[in-house]
Amino acid sequence: MMPSLKGCVTVLLLLLSLSARADGSLLITQAGSDMPLAQAVVEIMLPDRETATGKEDGYQIVQRGAQFDPLVTVIPVGASVTFPNQDTTRHQVFSFSPPKVFSLDLYLRETPPPVSFERPGVEVLGCNIHDSMQAFIVISEAPFFTMTDKSGRIELNALPPGRYSMRIWHPRLDDTHQQWWQGEVDTRIDNHVALTLAATPTPSSEPSLLQQRFQRGLEHREYP
Q: What is the pTM of this model?
A: 0.79
For 168-202, the pLDDT digits (tens) are 999 999 999 999 999 999 999 999 999 999 976 54
The string of DSSP codes covering 77-137 is: BT-EEE--B-SSS-B-EEE--TT--EEPPPBSS--PPPEE--S-EEEEEEESS-TT-EEEE
Structural domains of the chain, ranges and CATH numbers in brackets: 24-49+144-211 (2.60.40.1120), 52-141 (2.60.40.420)
Q: Which of 134, 122, 118, 128 is nearest to 61 (CA)?
A: 134
pLDDT band for position 47 (cuts 50, 70, 90): confident
For 90-125, the pLDDT digits (tens) are 999 999 999 999 999 999 999 999 999 999 999 999
